[in-house]
């Protein structure tokens, strides 16, 4: 009888723990500053998301969506543009299938595909931009960057003059 009572008690505590955990996750979208805490708890640096993130949503499948008021540009080693919605599949140490983030490389804007921290003690973060994998120092991403409203990337004269400007 004592063993049965003990196992029932354990089940109750596990149920309470799961309910509390789900309750905490349901509030994830309400506090933008906690996105940085979430990233840290998942083995990623907080600075992957700009200070201007207004909210986020994490679904039960691990799909993370971060919401900004407007597209903006941040500076790490290179310039990075965040769309109004930045999303990826979040798992420990990685953001896979990134959407809404582009990085400047040699005057080209390339979409970031994956962000991976294999070994936090190595001090290195891997950024997959499709055509290349960049290894950068984790220290670049320690603090959330300021994200300035996106500036026009094209030369306005080129648009006005058409193909003549390409000569």
pLDDT tens readout for residues 32-90: 558 999 999 999 999 999 999 999 999 999 999 999 999 999 999 999 999 999 999 99
pLDDT tens readout for residues 93-152: 999 999 999 999 988 999 999 999 998 888 999 999 988 899 999 999 999 999 998 655
- Count of residues making up the chain: 167
Its pTM surpasses 0.85? no
Alpha helices in the chain (DSSP H): 2-26, 34-41, 156-161
List beta partners, residue 101. 82
User: Residue 163 has what DSSP assignment?
Assistant: G
CA distance 129 to 58: 24
Longest C-alpha distance within the chain, in Å? 89
CA distance 94 to 92: 6
CA distance 165 to 167: 6
Q: Pick from 78, 36, 29: which is nearest to 58 by CA?
A: 29
């Amino acid at each position: 009888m004592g063993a049965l009572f003990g196992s029932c008690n354990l089940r109750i505590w596990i149920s309470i723990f799961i309910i509390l955990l789900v309750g905490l996750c349901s509030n994830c979208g309400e506090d933008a500053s906690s996105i940085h805490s979430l990233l840290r708890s998942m083995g990623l640096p907080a600075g992957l998301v700009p200070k201007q993130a207004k909210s986020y949503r994490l679904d039960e499948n691990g799909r993370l969506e971060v919401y900004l008021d407007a597209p903006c540009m941040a500076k790490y080693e290179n310039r990075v543009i965040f769309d109004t919605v930045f999303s990826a599949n979040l798992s420990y140490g990685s953001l896979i299938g990134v959407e809404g983030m582009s990085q400047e490389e040699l005057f080209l804007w390339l979409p970031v595909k994956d962000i991976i921290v294999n070994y936090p003690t190595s001090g290195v973060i891997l950024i997959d931009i499709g055509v290349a994998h960049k290894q950068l120092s984790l220290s670049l991403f320690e603090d959330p960057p300021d994200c300035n409203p996106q500036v026009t990337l094209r030369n306005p004269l080129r648009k006005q003059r058409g193909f003549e400007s390409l000569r």
